[in-house]
Amino acid sequence: MKEALEKVREELGNDAIILNTRSNRRGGVLDFMKYAQFEVTAAFDDDPQKNRPVPGLPQSSQSTVRDEEKRSAGVYTPARIVPRPSSGGRAPDIRVKELTERVEVERIIEDIRDLKRSVQSLAENAALADLGGLPRYLADILQRFQNAGFDEKIAKGVTRQLLNELAGAELNDRSVIVDRAVELLRTSIGEVCQISLGGTRPRIVAFVGPTGTGKTTTIAKLATEFSLNRGQRVCVLTIDTKRIDAVGQLKSYCRIINIPLLIAYSPDELPGIMPRLAENDIALIDTPGAGPMDRQQMLEMVEFLHRLVPQEVHLTMSVTTSLHEMNRIEKNFSTLKPNRVLFTKLDETDSYGAMLSFAIGSKKNLSYVTFGQNVPGDFSLADPSELLRQNLTPKEPEDR
């Protein structure tokens, strides 16, 4: 409508009078893809006396005065309509079918977007629809998904797929249902990658993540494994120099396992440290925890890692963290370009749904999991299939 009125003013001038407007929607299927048409009837009064200027009044105020005169005289509906000729000498047709082609195209585009949003919403609602009347073992596995804290879309989506795929005796066999559920979910989880010992030496491996997730203890576990059990030359570099006794804790670990500990208080110190890193097969980098509002800390870590150029960056998170918080942490640390995810504190819970849902949603490669404070020990390479089975297989004798 706005464009139609602008076209009226363009064709008939600022003195044009709108006599009538009408709109309707044309075309479309089931309320989708319809476009609006506007019909405007307008005219201008070519009586020179009625368009006379008012002495002593600025030009910008002339039309306002003429409008007031017309209202008071009751002459807003002229006796005749005289269209102003266009530059081509042809009286303009101001019906919206010719005037609003662009409006119609934009409306069609918006309707397509609405249709796309509606289809997506229907698909999501179907996935989340209540699954009533399920066979016993399907209902049981859905309940286990929910108890373990899996994302609702994943839980109900897999259950619905199992209902569609399995039939007959399969639906009455708990082991078949669990095996197929594990298979479906495992294919949605990325690779599992341990620290690589091939390629350029040293292998620089950084660990990033929030405060309190166990980065320092995890580094001690891995340093012990690669140094004592695998015979690799290992060193540790810490840039976590602001936290109380963070360096002291690492010094104790490194002294016990007899590996060098290097400390960098600023990125400018790295050129002098790099030759010492190059003497080793693996360099493990301990970083400070950073909250979402600690922009300065994050910028400093970006500068450190930019100069170190690590081949691996492990985002370290506690398995007890909620799925929502895991997603927020991933977003906050995305500037550090993590290419692995390492989960800690598996000994503090037996519900791994948030961790596994994050692995499915993020598509990031997993590396290690830790499940205690013992150094050495209490860590292993992640095994998504085993973790899934632990949450989907009944533990109590009465459930069997």
DSSP H or E stretch at residue 307: helix 295-308
Which range, of 37-41, 84-88, 118-122, 168-172, averages the lowest pLDDT?
Answer: 84-88
Give percent of the chain above pLDDT 70. Answer: 73
Overall average pLDDT of the 86-90 stretch: 48
Same domain, 167 and 35: no
Say how far residue 68 (Cα) sits from the centre of its chain: 57
Overall average pLDDT of the 292-304 stretch: 84
Geometric angle at alpha carbon 22, from 27 and 43, rounded to 5°: 130
Rounded to an integer, what distance in angstroms lies between the CA atom of residue 196 and that of residue 202? 11
Same domain, 245 and 154: no
Q: Which long-range contacts (CB under 8 A, 24 or more apart) does 176-179 make?
A: 177/137, 177/138, 177/141, 178/141, 178/389, 178/392, 178/393
Q: What is the pLDDT of residue 293?
A: 67
- Is residue 93 predicted with pLDDT exceeding 80? no
Same domain, 246 and 343: yes
Overall average pLDDT of the 102-106 stretch: 70
Last residue of a domain, one of 120, 149, 171: 120
pLDDT grade for 29, boundaries at 50, 70 and 90: very low
Same domain, 303 and 370: yes
- Is residue 157 predicted with pLDDT exceeding 60? yes
pLDDT grade for 295, boundaries at 50, 70 and 90: confident
Range of the domain at 266: 203-382
Same domain, 263 and 339: yes
Residues 326 and 213: beta-carbon distance below 8 Å? no
Task: Please indicate, yes or no, if residue 74 is contained in any of the structural domains.
Answer: no
Q: Tell me the two tokens of residue 76.
A: 């807003």
Task: Please indicate, yes or no, if residue 62 is contained in any of the structural domains.
Answer: no
Within 10 angstroms of residue 237's Cβ, the number of other Cβ atoms is 26
Same domain, 239 and 301: yes
Last residue of a domain, one of 67, 97, 120: 120
Same domain, 109 and 165: no
Overall average pLDDT of the 169-178 stretch: 94
Q: Tell me the two tokens of residue 276.
A: 């010492």
Same domain, 280 and 301: yes
Task: Please indicate, yes or no, if residue 353 is contained in any of the structural domains.
Answer: yes
Same domain, 241 and 285: yes
Coil, strand or helix at 183:
helix
Task: Please indicate, yes or no, if residue 165 is contained in any of the structural domains.
Answer: yes
Residues 330 and 222: beta-carbon distance below 8 Å? no
Q: What is the CATH number of the domain that holds 367?
A: 3.40.50.300
Overall average pLDDT of the 45-61 stretch: 53
pLDDT grade for 111, boundaries at 50, 70 and 90: confident
Say how far residue 174 (Cα) sits from the centre of its chain: 35
More confident residue, 78 or 169: 169
Overall average pLDDT of the 387-396 stretch: 89
Overall average pLDDT of the 92-102 stretch: 57
Q: For residue range 180-234, what is the model confidence (pLDDT) as tens digits?
A: 999 999 999 999 999 998 778 899 999 999 988 999 999 999 999 999 999 999 9
Q: What is the pLDDT of residue 77?
A: 42
Q: What is the pLDDT of residue 109?
A: 84
Rounded to an integer, what distance in angstroms lies between the CA atom of residue 30 and that of residue 33? 8
Within 10 angstroms of residue 333's Cβ, the number of other Cβ atoms is 22
- Is residue 266 predicted with pLDDT exceeding 70? yes
Task: Please indicate, yes or no, if residue 390 is contained in any of the structural domains.
Answer: no
Q: What is the pLDDT of residue 116?
A: 78
Burial 256-282 (b: 16+ CB within 10 A, else e): ebebebbbbeebeebeebbeebeebbb
Task: Please indicate, yes or no, if residue 364 is contained in any of the structural domains.
Answer: yes
Task: Please indicate, yes or no, if residue 194 is contained in any of the structural domains.
Answer: no
Residues 315 and 208: beta-carbon distance below 8 Å? yes
Coil, strand or helix at 81:
coil
Residues 85 and 91: beta-carbon distance below 8 Å? yes
Gyration radius from the chain CA atoms: 35
Q: What is the pLDDT of residue 82?
A: 44
Short-list 307, 301, 364, CA closest to 338: 364
Same domain, 163 and 240: no
Same domain, 343 and 218: yes
Same domain, 116 and 132: no
Q: What is the pLDDT of residue 35?
A: 54
Rounded to an integer, what distance in angstroms lies between the CA atom of residue 182 and that of residue 384? 9
Mean pLDDT of the chain: 81
Number of domains in the chain: 3
Task: Please indicate, yes or no, if residue 351 is contained in any of the structural domains.
Answer: yes
